[in-house]
Structure 1
Amino acid sequence: MTTLEDLLKIPRFSDLKLLTNPRNADTIVESIEISETPDVANFIPKKIFLLTTAMVYKNNQKELITLIDSLKEQEAAGIGIKVGRFIETIDPAIIDYANQIDFPIVLVPSTQPLGALLHQLLNYLWDTKTEQLSYALDIQKRFSDLLIHDVSIARFIADFGKMINTPVILLSPYRKVIAHSKHFTQTSKPAEYYVEQLVNKYDNWNEDSHASFMIKDLNQESLQIAGFSVTVNSYFPHYLLILNPQQVPYPMSEFAVEQACLVLSFMLYKNQKVQESLDFLKSDFLAQLIEYQQTPHQSRRDWLDLGTNYGLKKSTQYQVVYAVCSQTTTTATKIKYQQEESDVAFQWLLETLPPRIKHISIFKVKNTNHLAILIQSKVDDLENILTELSLELSKKLPITLTFALGNLYESVEQIANSFIEAKTAYEEMLTMTNGSLTHRYHPKGMKSLFEKMSLEDIHYFCETTLKELAYPVEDSFIELRKTLQCYLSFQCEISKTAKEMYLHRNTIKYRIDHCAKLLGKSIQDPTNSLNLRLALELSERSNQHQ
């Protein structure tokens, strides 16, 4: 990458004189052209340094302003005007105007033939690019060797930092240091120190795919950092930071850095796909667990043994939290964005939750962009922890995580109950306007059950209301259910129930007392009585549809 300033510093071009402000000479020069055509800007690519005798402007130099404007719009590197043939001197007004728009003008002396100058300038540019390309290809070969040997990302970053002899840092989409070169082990500050400075000083630094920043080093002196996007996802890239890029040995080119970014993209993508296959198995396990536990008359399974590889642990405290990324009007229709957003949030929770909550396992909910967090320990300040995590993530990325909490259960066989409650709480959050990041499940009444008669809700309501009497298979529980149903239909009158069932009233009383003990609630209570009657009816109907 050669600038006009670089060219003018070369001894063989010492007779070229910059007429405009020196600070405007940092434009990049990719090629050289000679032209006397006034509309040449329409036919040249960007970053061209134009050589001309200004022949057509010898009687009216002010028309050069139009040419300069067109070149500026085309992002030309500058213009070199040869004097002494058609123009003796360049009008100061033209130079003043060029300074106003930050466009460099170079004076070419009459002793310098434009054809020879063009040849010399192009030779220099071509030699430089050849050297850069050769160096970049050498680095590419070294990168290929690393890929063939399947080295880790940490090893790759360490080797890359060694190649260019300057500190290198790789960041996750939410700016966590994934890997860094060996340079930081010899300083008193870790890589995170420089990243923190960068984030604090440049709030929107991650919006550019290639940018340069200035921060302070350990001695409070200016330190330059070059940042490059490493694209694995379309919306949430990783970042490669190079400290002191100006000290990278010549001819380290931008192309070589791009090669490093390309290799990193491949490595990160490969790791992501491997992880996705493991996450799919985990999601499938959760789906089977929920479905199985919500199906009546199933034989008991050892879920702890089946779920060992997925983080299930023996506990007396099981709770499910349903996590979802809130959507805006802009992102609501972007399916790819929602998927990537969920993946980033999933990774964020995997890294930030375990240090704060013991014994957790995080699942991707099958066929959705939602997440399920299984907590296997009692957490008193759970809502505060989840709120803090959501706020921390939203400060780093435009992602807002919301959490819906199911109730706490004592056995692994009741995980499905907590999951259904958490999912129901999430659905309730969709209708809320208070902006809360967390919401707990509140038991449903009969009205909501009538409004939404999904099989999942019916099974949950019946089993939590009737327990063993919901879908009984043992004769004793079947008889208790019949007695309870008859007792409720006769408005809780023992004598009428006994007469209807041809049983002694003491037998009915014993059975009703047994039911009350089994259900853990007073059957005569009006609310309980209504819920029990509804659950009996719903469980009978749903059982017929199995």
Structure 2
Amino acid sequence: MTTLEDLLKIPRFSDLKLLTHPTKANTVVESIEISETPDVADFIPKKIFLLTTAMVYKENQKELITLIDSLKEQEAAGIGIKVGRFIEAIDPEVVAYANKIDFPVIQVPSTQPLGALLHQLLNYLWDTKTEQLSYALDIQKRFSDLLIHDVSIARFTADFGKMINTPVILVSPYRKVIAHSKHFTQTSKPAEYYVEQLVSKYKTWTEDSHASFVIKDLNQTPLQIAGFSVTVNSYFPHYLLVLNPEQVPYPMSEFAVEQACLVLSFMLYKNQKVQESLDFLKSDFLAQLVEYQQTPHQTKRDWLDLGANYGLKKSTQYQVVYAVCSQTTTTATKIKYQQEESDVAFQWLHETLPLRIKDISIFKVKNTDHLAILIQSRVNDLDKILTELSLELSKKLPITLTFALGNLYETTEQIANSFIEAKTAYEEMLTMTDSPLIHRYHPKGMKSLFEKMSLEDIHYFCETTLKELAYPVEDSFIELRKTLQCYLSFQCEISKTAKAMYLHRNTIKYRIDHCAKLLGKNIQDPTNSLNFRLALELSERSNQHQ
């Protein structure tokens, strides 16, 4: 890739004079053309450097502005105008306008024949492209050899850094260093130091395939870093960072870097697919465990032996945490995004969670984008650890992990119970207006069966069961309701009820007999007793929601 600035630095072209500001000469030149026609912009490709004598503009140079506009629109690299033949000097207004729209204008002296200049410039460009192509093909051959020998990503990254003679770092989507060249073993700071500097300065990285960053090096002087995306997934790419790209020896071309990114994409994709096959077996094991343990009258299985390859360990503490990536209105309909988001979160938990909690195993939940974390040890500050992990990930990527917790159990045969509780707790989170980051499972009684019933249906059940005692207003009925409630809570024992209410047992007996007449049923009957207890609870709750 040759710029106009590069051409002007070559000694044989030293008589070409840049009239516009030096910063305007960083345009890429791919070819050279000579033309004297005003509509030349309609017939040339992009990135052309145009040479002209401006013959048609000798009487009115200001019309050159129209030509410059058309060339700018066509993304030409610049214009070289020969002076001394048809025009003696280039009008300052033309130069000022070119400066204004960031378009390079070069003055070609009268001693320089345009035809000879054209051939010299093209020869230089052709030689450069030939050299770049030869170098790129050589790089490609070396990459192919590395692929054939199935080298590791770490070895490939190290060799690539050696090829281009500058430090390189490969980082994951969440900015963790995966591999780096050997340059960092000779410095006082590891590769992570530069990535941390980059992350702290650039909170969100660009999604472009090629980005440029500037940070401070060890001496606090500006350090340039070029970032190239290594696409394994559509939404969360890896990045190849090249430090001091301006020092890469010629003829290092962008094509060589693109080849390196392509090879790394293939290697990462291959590793990902191998890992996915292992994760599938692990996911299938969890599904079978949960299904089997919920089957009545099942024979006993040695789950520790069956799950040894999937991280199951002998313990007296088993707890399942259900982990899910929260969705926004934008991502809720993007199936591919949700899959990749879950994969990134899965890898993140795999790398960070074992450092804080021992004896864990992480599963992908079959046929979903959800994750299940099996904890096989007691953790006193579990909520704090999970909150910290979620916040750390959300600072690196637009991913928010939420967690639903099942209860703690003592045997492997009860893992399914904890899993179902954790999943139930997650489903409860979906119904909450402000979904919390962490939600624990709470056991439900029989009244939970009525949660989806309307208030009208609940009122009907309560009133037909308790009659005047369902929603009492009169003091006498209120006292009767309290007595009935206490009597039922003490398993219909008069003495305990009287003691709890500080009343004589005959008073309690009289009130219970009165309740039986009012309700028209035997209160001591087990079926009636269950209905009365449930109606008392539901009427109290429904009354609070009115």
Q: Fold match, TM over 0.5?
A: yes
SS at match of 1:354: helix
Correspondence for 1:316: 316
Correspondence for 2:28: 28
Deviation at 1:230, TM superposition (A): 0.6
Alpha carbons of structure 1 residues 456 and 77: separation in structure 2 relative to 1, 3 Å: farther
Deviation at 1:537, TM superposition (A): 20
Deviation at 1:313, TM superposition (A): 0.7
Q: Deviations over 1:354-407 (max 9, x none)?
A: 000111100001111110111111111111111111110010001111111111
Deviation at 1:215, TM superposition (A): 1.4
Greater Cα shift, 67-76 or 133-142:
67-76
The aligned length equals 546
Greater Cα shift, 437-446 or 395-404:
437-446
Considering only CA atoms, is the larger Rg found in Structure 1 or Structure 2?
2
**What is the distance in 2 between the residues matched to 1:262 and 1:340?**
19
**What is the distance in 2 between the residues matched to 1:16 and 1:95?**
15
Contact 1:403 1:438 in 2 (8 A): yes
Q: Deviations over 1:164-190 (max 9, x none)?
A: 111111000000000111111111110
Contact 2:447 2:534 in 1 (8 A): no
**What is the distance in 1 between the residues matched to 2:520 and 2:410?**
16
Q: Deviations over 1:215-238 (max 9, x none)?
A: 111111222111111111111000
* Runs of 5+ unmatched residues, structure 2: none
SS at match of 1:473: coil
**What is the distance in 1 between the residues matched to 2:470 and 2:218?**
69
Contact 1:449 1:458 in 2 (8 A): no
Q: Deviations over 1:38-57 (max 9, x none)?
A: 33334433322122222332
Deviation at 1:347, TM superposition (A): 0.2
Greater Cα shift, 234-243 or 116-125:
116-125
Alpha carbons of structure 1 residues 501 and 217: separation in structure 2 relative to 1, 3 Å: closer
Deviation at 1:476, TM superposition (A): 47
Greater Cα shift, 175-184 or 446-455:
446-455
Deviation at 1:472, TM superposition (A): 42
Alpha carbons of structure 1 residues 112 and 279: separation in structure 2 relative to 1, 3 Å: same
Alpha carbons of structure 1 residues 459 and 14: separation in structure 2 relative to 1, 3 Å: farther
Greater Cα shift, 350-359 or 461-470:
461-470
Alpha carbons of structure 1 residues 489 and 408: separation in structure 2 relative to 1, 3 Å: closer
Alpha carbons of structure 1 residues 190 and 529: separation in structure 2 relative to 1, 3 Å: farther
Alpha carbons of structure 1 residues 10 and 243: separation in structure 2 relative to 1, 3 Å: same
**What is the distance in 2 between the residues matched to 1:301 and 1:116?**
88
Alpha carbons of structure 1 residues 340 and 73: separation in structure 2 relative to 1, 3 Å: same
Deviation at 1:461, TM superposition (A): 22
SS at match of 2:285: helix
Greater Cα shift, 512-521 or 125-134:
512-521
Alpha carbons of structure 1 residues 384 and 146: separation in structure 2 relative to 1, 3 Å: same
SS at match of 1:472: coil
Correspondence for 2:446: 446
Contact 2:447 2:538 in 1 (8 A): no
* Runs of 5+ unmatched residues, structure 1: none
Alpha carbons of structure 1 residues 132 and 535: separation in structure 2 relative to 1, 3 Å: farther
Contact 2:363 2:372 in 1 (8 A): yes
Contact 2:174 2:397 in 1 (8 A): yes
Greater Cα shift, 467-476 or 293-302:
467-476
Q: Deviations over 1:83-124 (max 9, x none)?
A: 233322211001011112221100122332323222221111
Alpha carbons of structure 1 residues 508 and 339: separation in structure 2 relative to 1, 3 Å: farther
SS at match of 1:249: coil
Contact 2:429 2:435 in 1 (8 A): no
Contact 1:279 1:364 in 2 (8 A): yes
Greater Cα shift, 125-134 or 489-498:
489-498
Q: Deviations over 1:193-248 (max 9, x none)?
A: 11111111122334332122221111112221111111111110000011111221
Correspondence for 1:251: 251
**What is the distance in 1 between the residues matched to 2:141 and 2:465?**
68
Alpha carbons of structure 1 residues 428 and 498: separation in structure 2 relative to 1, 3 Å: closer
Q: TM-score, normalised by structure 2?
A: 0.83
Alpha carbons of structure 1 residues 396 and 537: separation in structure 2 relative to 1, 3 Å: closer
Contact 1:294 1:460 in 2 (8 A): no
SS at match of 2:418: helix
Alpha carbons of structure 1 residues 479 and 4: separation in structure 2 relative to 1, 3 Å: same
Alpha carbons of structure 1 residues 500 and 329: separation in structure 2 relative to 1, 3 Å: closer
SS at match of 2:374: strand
Correspondence for 1:495: 495
**What is the distance in 1 between the residues matched to 2:520 and 2:184?**
63
Greater Cα shift, 447-456 or 496-505:
496-505
**What is the distance in 1 between the residues matched to 2:427 and 2:466?**
25
SS at match of 1:300: coil
Deviation at 1:307, TM superposition (A): 0.4
SS at match of 1:215: strand
Deviation at 1:252, TM superposition (A): 0.9
SS at match of 2:99: helix
Q: TM-score, normalised by structure 1?
A: 0.83
Greater Cα shift, 423-432 or 525-534:
525-534
Greater Cα shift, 438-447 or 142-151:
438-447
**What is the distance in 2 between the residues matched to 1:483 and 1:389?**
51
